[in-house]
Amino acid sequence: MLPTLNGRIQTRVFLLAVVGSIWTLLITPVLPTGTSLGASYRATFSVLLVVTVLGVLWELVYHGIQQFRWEKDWPTLFGLLTGIPEGLLVWFLFAGGAVPWVDSLPGPAFLIHFASVWLIVWLVANGPMRVPFIHWRINGGRLI
């Protein structure tokens, strides 16, 4: 399958909204945030929201870069490694105060949350996603 730009955006938003939200609900109570559970949920779901919104912009950047490649896509491992620059950008936005509704999110809590969400979403996209969404592969990653 060669995912289209529209398909990659749809897949990213769907997986972060469904898989990312479920995982965030489960992992947030055990994160070392040092704040109340409500504040922890506000911070982790804010991370998820920022990753989703910025992810759409990242997909535009990735699409432009991929146009220089012969097959107009890149190896699956690159999809996993793109979490590094995305995570750094999101961390700098939170640490720099660009997300005003979140008081603070300690580095270890952010790292555990972001890395685990990224890994789980990547694993689902490259494995189980192909079973219930058979046409997803045929339609270039589009769900709608």
- Find the DSSP H helices in 16-141: 21-27, 37-66, 76-81, 83-95, 107-125, 134-138
Over residues 28-62, the pLDDT tens digits come to 999 999 999 999 999 999 999 999 999 999 999 98
Tell me the pTM.
0.91
Helix axes 107-125, 83-95, angle to 10 degrees: 150
DSSP letter at 12 equals H
Q: For the chain, 144 residues long, give each residue's pLDDT as a single digit of tens.
A: 567 889 889 999 999 999 999 999 999 999 999 999 999 999 999 999 999 999 999 999 988 888 888 877 778 898 899 999 999 999 999 988 888 888 778 999 999 999 999 999 999 998 898 888 888 777 777 887
